[in-house]
Amino acid sequence: MHGYRIDEHDAYLRYHDLPGREPVLVFLHGLGAASSSDFPETVRHPRLRDQRALLIDLLGYGYSDAPLSFDYTMESQAGLVARLLRTLSIRNAVVVGHSMGGSVAILLAGTEAQLVAHVMSAEGNLDSGPGFVSGRITAMSLEEFSEGGHAEFVRQVLRAGFADYAGTVHAADPVGLYQSAASLIAERSPSYREIFYGLSIPRTYIFGGQTLPDPDVEELAGQGVDVRIVPDAGHAMMVDNPKGFADAIADAIAHTN
């Protein structure tokens, strides 16, 4: 694992950099998750394992630090990813973001066109408003979540049978997790959807088959977005069916070549 020093926050952004050919695949995780946990099986799939891959744990998550001075907004997270890519001299990357990471990927592509050649959002937020996880977090105050809500949420995730996700939620900084959730679902103009639709690069949106039906399947396709569906998988598609998730990514890349 590597560390990228962020001097103004006295912190390190940590990531795996797996060697291989270009284009570089950049993976961004969801709310409460970590790329170091979510994506290793996907990137070792035969159709992806020859690609260079960056698995980034965003600030506040996984192995990365959680500085109190960071605001944990989606825009700030996207800005740090951009800084890391420039430091590593990476351009024209394929950025794959799951859930919250999909929204960060869209913001990154919208502001750093030279860094991103293809953006893939795996059930990332497109509109404002609470989702299943973000809504549970932001239903409490920051103080309530920090003092007991975070621990209770970890217990709820464990009781639901999601041991891997419970581990990454437990590792996530409570303040950063709360502030991330609040930023993720906040009203913004332009919206993630508007930015996504306006991008001139290839765009892919990936659904887990078990989350369908969803009206966005037709809506996105009508906007020229390449829509992929991972069979036998729900929202956590990279865990439920890592082979299917890897196939969806590989097929989307092949579609643009």
Give exposure, 141-158, as e/b (b: 16+ Cβ within 10 Å): eeeebbeebbeebbeebe
Burial of 223 (0-12, 13-18, 19+ CB in 10 A): middle
170 found inside a domain: no
Q: Work out the pLDDT band at 113, boundaries 50, 70, 90.
A: confident
180 found inside a domain: no
Angle at 106 between CA 174 and CA 48, to 5 degrees: 90
Q: What is the CATH number of the domain that holds 33?
A: 3.40.50.1820
Angle at 91 between CA 89 and CA 97, to 5 degrees: 110
- Answer for the pair 241, 231: CB distance below 8 angstroms, yes or no: yes
Phi-psi region of 60 (alpha: psi -120 to 50; beta: other; left: phi over 0): left
167 found inside a domain: no
Structure tokens at 199: 């991008």
Question: Total structural domains in the chain?
Answer: 1
Distance of CA 28 to the CA centre of its chain: 4
151 found inside a domain: no
Q: State the greatest distance between any 2 C-alpha atoms of the chain, in Å, as a whole number.
A: 50
Q: Work out the pLDDT band at 167, boundaries 50, 70, 90.
A: very high
65 found inside a domain: yes
232 found inside a domain: yes
Distance of CA 67 to the CA centre of its chain: 20
183-194: pLDDT as tens digits: 999 999 999 999
138 found inside a domain: no
Which residues span the domain enclosing 214? 2-129+189-256
**What percent of the chain is predicted at pLDDT more than 70?**
100
64 found inside a domain: yes
1-43: pLDDT as tens digits: 999 999 999 999 999 999 999 999 999 999 999 999 999 999 9
